[in-house]
Structure 1
Amino acid sequence: MYPRCGSNGSIQNIHQTPSSSNQNTEDEDDSGDNKASALSFKERRREAHTQAEQKRRDAIKKGYDSLQELVPTCQQTDASGYKPSKAAFQGIMDKLFESFESVPTNNFAEFSAGVFNWLEEYCKPQSLRTMVHGVLREQSYTP
Structure 2
Amino acid sequence: MITVDKLAGYWQKWKDLSTFGKWYLLKAGVTLLVIKAGLTFLPFQTFRSRYSRYTRGTAPERLTQEQIKEVARSINIMADHLPFQLLCLPRALAAKYLLRNEPGLVLQIGVELDRVDSFEAHAWVERAGEIIIGDWNETIRYQRLWSWE
Q: Give yes or no for TM over 0.5.
A: no
Question: Which structure has more strand as a fraction of its residues?
Answer: 2
* Bigger RCO (CA 8 Å, 6+ sep): 2
Whichever of the two has the greater Rg, that structure is 1
TM-score, length-scaled by structure 1? 0.23
